[in-house]
Structure 1
């Protein structure tokens, strides 16, 4: 049997089975954890002769790592990584059971279908078929299925990098999620967005303190007023346009594909052409701040001594210092900040043999492919692996129908991935490993 055909036949079932394992991660350890999914993955890897390492960083927070020996042990190794956790889902909000893994309308439905049990299934399917057939990759490949990505990776990638870096010995490049998906452009062609950069993360808790007292009296140092004013300043602030090399490269190629003139002073003109994806790309034109929580008081006629808020800040590669200087200026003297989660921005060049392997694998399966680099507005486990010196990319290849709002599927309701897209991804990923 052709290896790619065997993996194609298996990938859909693997994706369904992974979705049916509830690995919801609310960020406070109240979810079921990733243990069951990790044991499932470890079993699938062991069936084809690998010796997976299963590590639990915290009760239920479990990751799986295995190394596949390549034909040339003298070459640097490649890391393929995915995360097993998903964000929570409320069944009443969905058209179908979010943990049912149903197939309907040509798609596999469920929480994690695109973030990111689809890629987990593709990696498993390709690795299993290659090992069954005795097809070793050109170099060592480490596969990692990780816990806790949806809450910043503290109990997953971050913990592994801190406590078990030896598992990634020799890995100089890493490939993970949120890249390789298609965007249909004029001329029956498709841009495939390959992630080469991610914004940094600054999740912050803001705190103001004042004098507690009766709500009927005058209180010039009201903590609620102080924190509310700071939140209003942060939420209404627009950062200046900053075109990083990755964002500029994407916009130039996108404008060319759509027949629109690229204007570096007004890059938003191009965004109107790319549909719903404009939300994600638009967020990479500048640093951003979004207030997300407010907490104060316990009774309407009691002025609290303390009030707090939380904001989600994201900064572009090279602009972290500018970002936090602006935040502190906007906060003013009466409000302090502390990190809920802080992680760096990353960026690598869109060049080299690994990029060439991605491009060749895509164009082999889709002659209308136009691979392009882009910057992710969010963050992934790539941030942890970049700390080990790896060049990190997002490449989970999917050929998508033009009408599907793929970016809206991330953390959204009715998350689903096309069956044909999974099969396409397996073929591309297998060709990629031949060349990587």
Structure 2
């Protein structure tokens, strides 16, 4: 989501090149050590342990003065290596509800033979930190932990209670998910007025200039469906028209051409209006028109030429896996496909399934929900109390760079918190390059300056929210 904000806005900003970080301050050196320890603790699902990573962060918090009563380490007997922690810094004003800082500490698998460097040894080269998780999402997890440590060591007393939740399972669909477990089993532990999470952040132009910062305000829900045709089959030498593979092919063709209706949230309406004004021309006019009326078919036709805009406007469903048949010389008895849907906020899984059934129009085919079943996405409000401090601080740390509210077409663990009434915002701060910095891929990296400036920005942002009303 962040990577396309620049191209969407089409803004020419007079930002200064991002100079190298230079010599680190003593507090930054201390943070780098924490960050390095977390990154170098392997938390892949195959051989790693989020539980160990959480225990290491707990030890650092305790060394700063937190007690056993302030820290909850959790894991289940079925998933002993997929645990996490919740840490609490109590506020002084009981009238203010807590805030929650969420980050996942699991990472995508990384094979040493594929990487230029060992993926689980953090090294600094050419102004970047390289290793799996340096970007997604251990930088944020380290920053949240570091802020709690800095608050305790400085004697800072927030008005609002600050909670940090480090969880496992975000990167693997079928893994134990700590954020989901907390929401379903220990909601009182993470109860908060709002939460800050990944999903926002900055973008450079790839040439050393920071051009935008985004606040993620809402996301889609991810849900898979299986469509399947069955048939008695028979010998391939005497074919018939009633064929499971043909039925599946017909269904897939219908799904390919079906368009879910365009919709808006407060965030996407504001986003399309801002982008339309910035772009101008036919596309800009269409963006403004669709923001005023999502049923404007002519505007939709123009806007939806951009696949990101198209996805931001509606639920989307696409075939991702296909299987069928059982022998080269036999009529297929079964043929099926996985349909991956990204469901628009506030739309349900069941109504999406009903739409697929209607589109396919073949009562002989089944459409089933594929576990895991996630909650419906609940759009958080585009709240001035959230956007205001983020924008004000951005003017200090990133002068001349706009903070843009966006809705993600993907999904994060924030969806589990939204389901229990906690609005979640993906905050601005650290920035990335147009190529995605290798997140989920090879040679993942984060710019040193991005990490250190982003850390300071987020630390001050947490304080602004903690002392606000």
Q: Deviations over 1:75-128 (max 9, x none)?
A: 100000001112223444444433332222212223323221111111122222
Q: 2:365 aligns with which of 322, 326, 335?
A: 335
Give the structure 2 partner of residue 47 of structure 1.
Answer: 63
User: What is the aligned partner in structure 2 of residue 275 from structure 1?
Assistant: none
CA distance in 1, matches of 2:382, 2:90: 27
Alpha-carbon contact 2:303-2:309 (below 8 Å) kept: no
The unaligned stretches of length 5 or more in structure 1 are: 273-277
Contact persistence 1:242–1:286 (CA under 8 A): yes
Q: 2:388 — aligned with what?
A: 356
Which residue is equivalent to 2:228? 207
CA shift for structure 1 position 407: 4.6
Deviation at 1:367, TM superposition (A): 1.9
Q: How does 1:15-414 map to 2 (within 5 A)?
A: 15-25=35-45, 30=46, 32-50=48-66, 51=68, 52-57=71-76, 58-152=79-173, 154-169=176-191, 171-182=192-203, 190-257=211-278, 261-263=284-286, 264-265=289-290, 266=299, 282-320=310-348, 323-332=352-361, 333-340=363-370, 341-343=372-374, 344-395=376-427, 397-400=429-432, 404-405=433-434, 407=436, 409-414=438-443
Q: Distance in 1 between matches of 2:449 and 2:285?
A: 34
Bigger Cα displacement from structure 2, 201-210 vs 416-425: 201-210
SS of residue matched to 2:222: strand
- SS of the counterpart of 1:193? strand
CA distance in 2 between counterparts of 1:12 and 1:195 reads: 26
Determine helix, strand or coil for the equivalent of 2:404. strand
**Distance apart, 1:240 and its partner CA:** 4.4
Q: Which moved more, 1:143-152 or 1:346-355?
A: 346-355
Between the aligned partners of 1:399 and 1:408, the Cα distance in structure 2 is: 10
**TM score, norm. by length of structure 2:** 0.80
Partner of 2:293: none
* TM-score computed with the length of structure 1 as normaliser: 0.85
* Residue 430 of structure 1: aligned partner: 459
Q: CA deviation at 1:178?
A: 0.9
Structure 2 stretches of 5 or more lacking a match?
A: 1-23, 291-298
Tell whether 2:440 aligns with 1:419: no
| Cα deviation digits, residues 308-349 of structure 1 (max 9, x gap) | 221210122244476444322223323212222333122122
Partner of residue 17, structure 2: none
Q: Tell me, what secondary structure is at the counterpart of 1:131?
A: helix
After the TM superposition, which of the residue ranges 348-357 and 142-151 deviates more from structure 2? 348-357
Q: Check conservation: 2:54, 2:84, Cα contact below 8 A.
A: yes
Structure 1 residues 41, 262: closer, same or farther in 2, change over 3 A?
farther
Is the Cα contact below 8 Å between 2:147 and 2:459 reproduced in 1? yes
Which has the greater radius of gyration? 2
Q: Distance in 2 between matches of 1:309 and 1:31?
A: 31
Contact 1:206–1:310 (Cα < 8 Å) also in 2: yes
SS at match of 1:15: helix
1:228 shift after superposition? 3.3
- Cα distance, 1:365–1:267 mapped onto 2, change above 3 Å: farther
Q: Measure the CA separation in 2 of the matches of 1:234 and 1:66.
A: 46
How far off is 1:233 after superposition? 2.7
User: Measured at CA, do residues 355 and 223 of structure 1 come closer, stay the same or move farther in structure 2, by a change above 3 Å?
Assistant: same
Alignment: residue pair count: 418
Question: C-alpha distance in 2, partners of 1:180/1:225?
Answer: 46
- SS of match in other structure, 1:44: helix
CA distance in 1: counterparts of 2:319 and 2:189, whole angstroms: 38
* CA distance in 2: counterparts of 1:179 and 1:119, whole angstroms: 11
- 4+ residue runs over 6 A deviation: 267-272
Separation in 2 of the partners of 1:398 and 1:271?
A: 30
1:254/1:270 contact within 8 Å kept: no
Indicate the larger mover: 225-234 or 412-421: 225-234
- Supply the RMSD in Å over aligned alpha carbons: 2.9
